[in-house]
Structure 1
Amino acid sequence: MKKTSCITLALLFTLALSACGKTDSPVPAVSGNAPSDTPAVSVPAPDEQPGQSPSSCTFDPALFGGKLQSCAYAGNGTLLVLADKLYLYDTGTSSVLATAEAPLRDFEAQAIDGGYVLSGMGDSGMMAYIYDSSLSLNKEIAVEELLQGDFVVSETGGVAASTDGKKLAFAAMGGLYLYDLESGNLTTLLDMAQNAGTASISVSMLNGAAFAQDNSQIVFFGSGNSIPVVDGEEGFSLHGSISVEGSGLKLTKLSDYEMEEMQSSVSRLFFPQAFTQANGTLLWIDRATGSANTLSFSASGEGKDGVYGSEQGNYVATAVLDGSLTVRVYDVASGELLATEVMEDSDSTYFNRIPRIYLLDEAKTAVVVLGGSISEVDTLVSTFEFGA
């Protein structure tokens, strides 16, 4: 199935509502004051409550001030929207649940019990902010001060939060650390200065981490070298796991797969390849069991222009940029291609940088943000449905 929508140049805040529910076709972005045959608002079912995985989705840009830059999953169909400030937005009811001053220009967000953890680079290095469910700031952590000499360089996965909100993990240059938020204790799980690794693999760099298996394990990725050294072999990508007690270290060498980042969803961890090495496959790990699997895309080079996991981890989208934007959505469990959406605009600037794509599992809806990181153009937002 292939459908096409055209994105017209228009100010974000003159866009009509992009509404989506259980309809037969996706809803394209709508320009200015042009009439639309789509309903203005998706009305939730009578027993549907905000933040409870709604089966319908509405994205209303008019509710946000300033330039919309990006979003992040906030759990159960809600999004954290970064614009002139930080908004907690419910896509099922099309309402803003809370607002706060934006602590960072760009951030990674993780939903925890009773709130959220936001992390990203501030003026003094990596920062972590812990909010409650109403976006009231509970704790601010300057990670480099906490690590006393070590520092986190990865903005994606450099700071990981346990789902119960009691612990943080830091993947830093010098090692992997576990921080107990209740006691304030900092534990070193892997020490690079002490030749961290196993009998056959040494870890040379850590790029990201995430909690798994009911917060008992930490999964991480980075690079390493063989022990003993193999003639002519360069460093390779690896992923591994270790218990929060520091035992049971496991490492897996990836000879022909170079990981660029780690994306966390509720059920899965996704590891997109470096764009120069993308070969049309995606490595992912089951957070409940720790098992590793591979998803194959439709084309051999697909994935180099962006890979995007869904909120729950059931779906993955890819972006293909070639004078326009083609978005393909896949079912992770079956590998089935569910939808293909082509987006075009007369201003090619929108396709010079990878988009932001957010997939809402229950509503089976993709929210595509174009130009959010490009200061000279207005942000454009489009939504479309995928799956049955």
Structure 2
Amino acid sequence: MKNKILSIILAVFVLLTSGCINNNNFKISNHEKKVIDPNISILNEDKVVTNLKLQGDLKNIYYADGNKILILADKLYLYDLGAREVIAEAPKLLFNRENYWVIENGYAVVGETLISRNDKVRAVKGVRNYNCIFYDHNLNKVAEFDFNKLVGDNAIGLDMENISFSSDGTKVLYALTDGLYQYDFVKNKKSTIVNLKSNDYSERFGIVAFEQIDFTNYDKNIAFKAQSFDIPVLTDSSSFDSCGILNTNGSLLWNRGVFDDYKCKKITAYNDHILLAEDITIASGRLFVFEYPSDKMISHILLEKLESGSVSGSDFGKYFATSIPNNDSWIIRIYNTKTGKLESEQQVSSGGKEYMAQDPIIKIIDDTKTCIMLFGSKRDDILTKMVVSQF
């Protein structure tokens, strides 16, 4: 793949104004249907304040600490949104896939590499290697860990969404086809949280496979999205999507497939709440939010049905964004997570049909009410666009 020079326009928009397995009796609070606030305007013009030129292919953006983001291009860049400049950089790691986490002393990254044989990468049967790198706040590498020591040379079931670091970076969760595990870097100790090899489905709460995991409730609990069976298991039944919460000792708090006919497909976990997004193919226009410490499930009704299948949470969860296509442009809406209030709506021109094939990557910085949108980064044959707005 040939590198390309990216000219990423950072623009500031000014708004006019700103099936049940363990049946818990949740109180589901339904908010009223939204109407467009006359003070919320659809934005069609932008004011360019600066140009950021990077060599290479911009692939992704990740949350960093404070008013900053990590930009993955030919290098790893730490970009200060307030100063509008790159303040640190590190060599790009040679991973096929990777994900980044903000931890107490900097950042952690886990990367996957497919081992080549005879110059041919065997994506299906090839060997997958995993490595973990720790950076300080200035992107200096401080430690490296061979993840294969935990998962083996060709771990089955491991995925970037099946890995999660504690906020202090001392523990990591990971799920394989045979179970959910935790590793303590300080104690050099691996522990089994859920054993999926057990033939007794009740012992593993009906769970067949973990698809997403994340620490929540200040690292006291584990939020998960899974495939599960009813308990007791019904003859000739198939697994279904479920979401739930575990204690870190492996005891179950709850695991549910349906909430008032609402099926969860994706979780985004924070310390005091969890976003539960729908499958976009059956989106109903609702977003469920599980809150701590009340253990209450809140249902927000969004403006359009498709929105609930495309949800992006902010850095600390105060807001969430949705994206829906509108001809050759994207409509981006930002809601308040607590109240469900529509905070802003803007229409961003895609620049062509090629930018409409995949949803944009959206990040929101709570403190500064800044929204970062990345268009076209999942394709190698088009120019990646990055737009930054404030609401």
TM-score grouping bracket, smaller chain normalisation: 0.7 to 0.9
- Which of 118, 122, 134 is equivalent to 2:138? 134
Q: Map Cα deviations across residues 118-161 of structure 1 (whole Å, 9 max, x no partner).
A: 234322244432222222223333434313475443322x1111
Q: State yes or no: 1:90 paired with 2:83.
A: no
For 2:42 and 2:52, locate their aligned partners in 1 and report how far apart those are by CA, in whole Å: 18
Q: CA deviation at 1:107?
A: 2.8
* 1:43-62 alignment, distance < 5 Å: 60-62=51-53
Q: State yes or no: 1:253 paired with 2:219.
A: no
Q: State yes or no: 1:385 paired with 2:390.
A: yes
Q: CA deviation at 1:66?
A: 1.9
Alpha carbons 1:237, 1:254 under 8 Å: kept: yes
1:358 counterpart residue number: 363
For 1:209 and 1:291, locate their aligned partners in 2 and report how far apart those are by CA, in whole Å: 20
- Which of 194, 204, 208 is equivalent to 2:212? 208
Q: CA deviation at 1:99?
A: 1.1
Q: TM-score, normalised by structure 1?
A: 0.79
2:109 counterpart residue number: 118
1:100 counterpart residue number: 90
For 2:52 and 2:276, locate their aligned partners in 1 and report how far apart those are by CA, in whole Å: 30
Matched residue type, 1:298 = L
Q: Percent identity?
A: 23
Q: CA deviation at 1:201?
A: 4.0
* 1:142-153 alignment, distance < 5 Å: 142-148=146-152, 150-153=155-158
Single out whichever of 375-384 and 184-193 deviates more from structure 2. Answer: 375-384
Alpha carbons 2:246, 2:254 under 8 Å: kept: no
- Which of 372, 375, 379 is equivalent to 2:377? 372
Question: RMSD across aligned C-alpha pairs, in angstroms?
Answer: 2.9
For 1:26 and 1:265, locate their aligned partners in 2 and report how far apart those are by CA, in whole Å: 29
Q: Map Cα deviations across residues 357-385 of structure 1 (whole Å, 9 max, x no partner).
A: 11111221211111112111111122332
Q: CA deviation at 1:210?
A: 1.5
1:50 counterpart residue number: none
Q: CA deviation at 1:96?
A: 1.9
Matched residue type, 1:252 = N
Q: What SS does the corresponding residue of 1:145 show, helix, strand or coil?
A: helix
More strand by share: 2
Q: TM-score, normalised by structure 2?
A: 0.79
Matched residue type, 1:110 = W
Q: What SS does the corresponding residue of 1:301 show, helix, strand or coil?
A: helix
* 1:269-348 alignment, distance < 5 Å: 269-286=274-291, 291-304=296-309, 306-323=310-327, 324-348=329-353
Alignment size in residue pairs: 346
Q: CA deviation at 1:73?
A: 0.5
Q: 1:308 to 1:190 in 2, by over 3 A?
A: same
1:18 counterpart residue number: 11
Q: CA deviation at 1:239?
A: 2.4
Q: CA deviation at 1:266?
A: 5.7
For 2:337 and 2:142, locate their aligned partners in 1 and report how far apart those are by CA, in whole Å: 36
- Which of 221, 224, 249 is equivalent to 2:225? 221
Gap runs ≥5 in structure 2: 18-40, 115-127
Q: State yes or no: 1:80 paired with 2:70.
A: yes
Q: CA deviation at 1:184?
A: 1.4
Q: What SS does the corresponding residue of 2:265 show, helix, strand or coil?
A: coil
Q: 1:129 to 1:283 in 2, by over 3 A?
A: farther
For 2:78 and 2:342, locate their aligned partners in 1 and report how far apart those are by CA, in whole Å: 31
Gap runs ≥5 in structure 1: 1-10, 31-35, 42-59
Q: What SS does the corresponding residue of 1:229 show, helix, strand or coil?
A: coil
Single out whichever of 262-271 and 210-219 deviates more from structure 2. Answer: 262-271
Matched residue type, 2:194 = L
